[in-house]
Amino acid sequence: MNGKNLRDVAIVGRGTIDGAGARWWAGRGSPPQTPGYVLPRPTMIVLTGCRNVRVQDVTLQNSPLTHLAPTACEDVLVSNVTVKAPSGAANTDAIDPIGCKNVLITRCRMDVGDDNISIKSNGAIPGRAFASEDITVTDCVFLHGHGLSIGAATVGGVRNVTVRNCTFEDTENGIRIKSRRAEAARWRTFASVISP
């Protein structure tokens, strides 16, 4: 499901969106005839360049790849969302805000096979000093997965991230910053904006 340059987007309700990822996960390995090949897989929901986005009270499960990826969006609310995938399902991130501004992720429950949340900035966003900024994660439950990550893509910069009142249970990490060595100069900025 994709949307681009939309306003007032709402995905709400008590329903379930199931990506039937098992058929994709089985083919993720490298076929013997093509060394290094990985079967490309789709992301369940990608919203690009959108404003006033609300995803609420829905269950997202079994995406072939990432479940929810708001990209270059502003004013995003993800509330009371459950995201589920088997712990062994590779690259099934729950929520990946990429180059987004003014994001609130609250009261979500995430049990997946990769990053529960991954805040990324793949490149510069016109008019912004930092591609990803003003992101708050609060009152969430992190189960199987890699925890909350900043990166690996951080080339556009990340600023003002707050994580508060969250529970991490059976995650591989709590909060981690993963970035290329060349971007290490920005780590102080990341570390200074994560609150307990």
The answer to whether residue 30 is domain-embedded is: no
Per-residue confidence band for 196, with pLDDT thresholds at 50, 70 and 90: very low
pLDDT digits (tens, 9 = 90+) for 30-74: 445 565 555 689 999 999 999 999 999 999 999 999 999 999 999
pLDDT digits (tens, 9 = 90+) for 90-131: 899 999 999 999 999 999 999 999 999 999 998 888 888 898
For the chain, report the end-to-end CA distance as a whole number of angstroms.
Answer: 35
Q: How far is CA 164 from CA 29, 57, 62, 136, in A?
A: 37, 20, 27, 8
Judged by average pLDDT, the poorest of 6-20, 22-36, 158-172 is 22-36
Nearest CA to 101 among 65, 138, 127?
Answer: 127
The answer to whether residue 28 is domain-embedded is: no
- Domain containing 163: what range? 2-21+40-193
- 185: three-class secondary structure by DSSP: helix
pLDDT at 151: 84
Which residues are known to be catalytic?
Answer: 114, 146
The answer to whether residue 33 is domain-embedded is: no
The answer to whether residue 47 is domain-embedded is: yes
The answer to whether residue 27 is domain-embedded is: no
Average pLDDT, the chain: 88
The answer to whether residue 31 is domain-embedded is: no
* Count of structural domains within the chain: 1
Task: Write down how long the chain is.
Answer: 196
pLDDT at 193: 46
Strand partners, 47: 3, 70
Q: How far is CA 109 from CA 62, 99, 151, 172, in A?
A: 14, 22, 21, 16
What gap in Å lies between CA 159 and CA 193, rounded to an integer?
Answer: 7
What gap in Å lies between CA 90 and CA 83, rounded to an integer?
Answer: 14
What gap in Å lies between CA 53 and CA 65, rounded to an integer?
Answer: 21
The answer to whether residue 112 is domain-embedded is: yes
Per-residue confidence band for 185, with pLDDT thresholds at 50, 70 and 90: low
Per-residue confidence band for 188, with pLDDT thresholds at 50, 70 and 90: very low
- Rg of the chain (C-alpha set): 16
The answer to whether residue 35 is domain-embedded is: no
Which domain CATH number covers 90? 2.160.20.10
